[in-house]
Chains A and B, each alone.
Chain A
C-alpha cells in the first residue's frame, strides 16, 4: 500500500472544520465548513440582517461574531458620534449596524471607541484572530488574517447571511500553491514589496482557485505586521486566502491580547496551534520561488495591481503585451494614469500621499514612515510644497500607541496630516478622496480606476516609499532617503 501523502497547512485547517460533505469520496462537491470567527462591518451586512429578518432566522453564534464600523466613517470628529456624520447614507448604514448588532447581541466597537478601527487590524489586535481558525468577513481583504495560520477569506453578503444563520459556509476546496521567499531583502525593501513582487510574477488571476501558503526564510523573518501585509495582498493575485504557518513570532504577538486564551487554556491552545503546519512530504499543485535579494522597491504604474515595476524602471509599452485584451487594458491604463510608455516612473509628480488601509496602517508601518519623515526633518526637509499627505492609523489602539511613541509629533512636524482611524482613502467611501486627475502615492491595495476618487490616479507602494514620495513631491526611491 502506498503511504498517504502529507497534508498542507490548508488541508489541515480544512479537515478540522468540515461539518458535512457532499459526495461520497470526500473530494467532490461542496463541504459545509464551520466558521470560528465572523467579522462584520457596516457596508456589506445590512442586506444580510434584512434577509434574516425576512426569513425569521436568528444569529446562531453572536459570541463568535465581532462588529466594527470602518468603511465609511470620517477620519476626524469621531468623538462627536454617529449622529454627527454628515453623509446621510453613511450615517444610515452606521446606525443600522448599531441596531442590528444590539438586536443580535453581537460584540461591537463603535466609531470613536479606542478599540474600533479597520476590521483586519482590529481582529488580530484583540487576539480574536488565532492559528488554525476559519475566519470570514464580507470584505475581500480578510485574507490578512492568514498571517496567523488561519484560513481566512472574503465572502459576499448572501454568504454573510448564511454564516450569521448557520455559523457555517458552503465551500468547494481550493488547490494548494506555495510561494517560497528565501534570502534576505536589501535595506528599504519589505513585506509590501514581497507581495507586489508575487502579484507581478503570477498576475492578478494567477492565484484564482488556489490558497497560497507563504514560506521561506524571508517570510519567517517577517514580523506579524509584515506577514499581515503579505497575506492581505494575496487577493490581488486572485487567491482568496494566504497563509503563513504559526511560529514563535505568532505566539509572541498573541500572548496577553484581550481575547487570547489565558493560563492553562493558553498551554492547551498552544499545543493545538502547533499542529498547524505543512508536512514535509505535502504536495503543492503549484510552487513559486522568489529570492528576496532580487526584489527592488516596487511601485505600480497602471490600474491593476499586477502592473508592477521597480522604482528605477520606465513605464512599459502596451506593445509588450501579446494578449489583445491586455494590450487594450494597458493602453487604457496609460491614458487613465496620464503616463507615457518609457517615461521613468520616478519622474511622476504626485499631489497626494495616503499612508493607511488594512494593508499598511499598523504600528510597524507607521514607524517605518515616521523614520523617513524624521530623517527628512533632520535635513531640513518636509512634505513637498503642494502635496497633501495624510496618515490614517488602522485603529484607535494603533493611534494611541503611535502617539505614545511620539510618531504623531514627527508626522505633524514634517507636514503630514495625522487622522483618526478607518478605511479612509483606500476606497474613498468617506470624505477622504482624490480629486479628478490627482496622482497619489498610496500604501493601500488597489489602483483600480476611480478607487480612491473619480478619475484619481493611484500608485501602490510601501509605507517607506510613500513617505519618501511625500518629501520628494514625486515617486522616489526610498533608498535615497535611508
Chain B
C-alpha cells in the first residue's frame, strides 16, 4: 500500500450526493484481472458521451482541473457495490484524497487498503471547500499527521480518523502481514471451534 503523509494538490468539486461505485467505475471495466490501468474507466459515463467523446463540461475534463489530486463530493460518497476497482481507478487517475460529509462503509474500508484517504468534514466545511474549489485558485493541502485540510483561501479544517488506521496509512502497512503476527491466536481459535462446532469441520 502507498503511504499517505501530506498532499498539496488541486481540488475538483463534484457537488452531487450518493455518488455510487457504479458511477465511479462502470461494470465494463470490472472484467480485468489486474489492479492497474483503471483510470480509463473512472467516472466513465460522466467523462464521456455515448460515442466515447469527452464531455467538456465535466469537471475532470476541464483544463483548470487537469491533474487534480483531491475530490470534494456530496454526502454518502462510494455507496453501492463493494468493487475495490473504485479506489483503484481513483488512485490510477491521480486522486489520493476524497473529501465528503460521509462515506459508505465498504468503500471507506477499501480506501484504507490502498492509501486513498477519505476525509470526513462537517457540512458547512464541505460546502465552503466546494465553493472555493469552483473558484480560480483551488490548491489545497491535506496533512494526515496533523489531521488538517487547508482550503485555497487558507481556512483550516480539522478531521477525525481512527489512530490505528492513521498509523497504517502513514506507513503504508500491509494488513495481512500484521494479522499473520497473530497466527498463534488464529490456530487456538480454530482448535476450540473444531471442538465446539465439529459439524463445520467436514463440510
Contact = CB atoms under 8 A, between A and B. Distances in A.
Interface of A: 19-20, 22, 29-30, 32, 34, 36, 43-44, 46-47, 50, 55, 57, 60, 63-64, 71-72, 87, 89-90, 92-93, 96, 128, 138-140, 153-159, 161-162, 165-168, 170, 172, 174, 204-205, 208-209, 235-236, 238-240, 259, 261, 265-266, 268-269, 272, 304, 306, 323-326, 328-329, 332, 427-429, 436, 446, 448-451, 454-455
Contact of B186 (A156, A167, A240, A261): A167
B133 to A, nearest CB: 14
Given A155-B109, A156-B82, A204 B22 contact: no
Interface in B168-203: 175-176, 178-180, 182-183, 185-186, 189-190, 193, 196-201, 203
Nearest to B17: A325
Contacts, number: 193
Contacts of A324: 15
Contacts of B82: 44, 138-140, 154-156
B105 A208 contact: yes
Nearest to A89: B31
B175 A158 contact: yes
B16 to A, nearest CB: 5
B50 A436 contact: yes
A429 B31 contact: yes
Contacts of A450: 22-23, 26, 45
Kindly list the 6 A-B residue pairs having the minimum CB-CB distance in the complex, ordered from nearest.
A325-B74, A261-B199, A158-B113, A89-B31, A156-B84, A156-B110
Contacts of B180: 165-166
A136 B27 CA distance: 21
Contacts of B32: 89
B53 interface: no
A325 B16 contact: yes
A176 B197 CA distance: 26
Contacts of A22: 164
Contact of A19 (B103, B163, B186): B186
Nearest to B126: A325
Contacts of B22: 427, 446, 448-451
Given A156-B84, A451-B22, A240 B76 contact: no
B92 interface: no
Report, as a range, how many residues of chain B touch the other chain. 35 or more
B81 to A, nearest CB: 5
Contacts of B20: 304, 446, 448
Interface centre among B28, B106, B113, B201 (most CB of A within 10 A): B106
Nearest to B86: A156
A72 B22 CA distance: 15
B104 interface: yes
Contacts of A328: 15-17, 74
Contacts of B201: 63
Contacts of B26: 450, 454
Interface centre among A92, A272, A329 (most CB of B within 10 A): A329
A47 B74 contact: no
Given A22-B164, A170-B179, A450-B45, A259 B84 contact: no
Contact of B109 (A92, A159, A266, A268): A159
28 contacts: A32-B186, A36-B200, A44-B83, A71-B30, A87-B31, A89-B32, A93-B33, A154-B106, A156-B82, A156-B87, A156-B106, A156-B109, A156-B113, A157-B35, A161-B176, A165-B180, A166-B180, A170-B179, A172-B162, A236-B80, A239-B105, A269-B197, A306-B18, A323-B75, A332-B16, A427-B22, A446-B22, A449-B23
B57 interface: no
Nearest to A47: B35
B77 to A, nearest CB: 10
A454 B198 CA distance: 49
A387 to B, nearest CB: 24
A449 B46 CA distance: 10
Nearest to A453: B27
Given A34-B186, A55-B176, A204-B18, A47 B34 contact: yes
A339 B179 CA distance: 51
Contacts of B110: 156, 158-159
Given A36-B200, A155-B106, A448-B80, A329 B18 contact: yes
